[in-house]
């Protein structure tokens, strides 16, 4: 084997390590650190998009409170990230009763009722035209 071919193989293996193996290993270490650092009271988001507050951890499972009095069990590896303190306050301070504008809600309900009451001009079965 020529020295040039040996250098090429070494560069190829080294480049593959730097581009493929090392970033994945660092990502796995970061995820493991996130899971091991979970504490009750931490606000988290799961990979499925569920927001919750860590109630407790039990081995590879995490109990999340997703609403007042509603606790679900998820796999610890399903925790995607923790929320920053500012984001936690944003979600805790939301009060659904204050955000609803009754007039706007009634107008939207009327629009929906009108759309449902109007007959369709299209045929019932589009394939046969009848």
Residue 101 has pLDDT above 80, yes or no: no
- pLDDT tens digit sequence for 34-64: 888 888 999 999 999 999 999 999 888 999 9
Asked if residue 96 has pLDDT above 60, the reply is: no
The owner of tokens 């979600």 is: 91
Please state, in angstroms and as integers, the Cα–Cα distance from residue 114 to each residue in 19, 45, 91, 110, 124, following that order: 58, 39, 35, 6, 20
Where residue 16 falls among pLDDT bands split at 50, 70, 90?
confident
* Region 39-94: CATH code: 2.30.30
Report phi then psi at 13, rounded to 5.
-65, -45
User: What angle is formed at CA 63 by the lines to CA 61 and CA 65, rounded to 5 degrees?
Assistant: 155
Does position 118 have pLDDT exceeding 70, yes or no? no
Provide the token pair at 128. Answer: 């046969």
CA distance linking residue 80 with residue 2, whole number of Å: 48
Predicted TM-score (pTM) above 0.85: no
How far is residue 37's CA from residue 28's CA, in Å, rounded to a whole number?
14
E strands along the chain, which residues? 43-46, 51-58, 61-67, 70-75, 79-82
């Amino acid at each position: 084997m020529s020295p040039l071919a040996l250098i090429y193989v070494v560069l190829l293996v080294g480049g593959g390590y730097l581009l493929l193996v090392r970033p994945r290993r660092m990502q796995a270490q970061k995820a493991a650190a996130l899971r091991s650092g979970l504490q009750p009271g931490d606000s988290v988001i799961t990979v499925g998009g569920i927001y919750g507050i860590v109630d407790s951890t039990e081995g590879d499972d995490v109990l999340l409170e997703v609403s007042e009095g509603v606790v679900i069990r998820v796999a610890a590896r399903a925790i995607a990230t923790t929320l920053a303190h500012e984001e936690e306050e944003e979600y805790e301070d939301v009060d659904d009763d204050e955000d609803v504008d009754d007039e706007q809600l009634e107008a939207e309900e009327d629009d929906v009722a009108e759309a449902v009451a109007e007959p369709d001009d299209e045929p019932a079965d589009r394939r046969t035209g009848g």
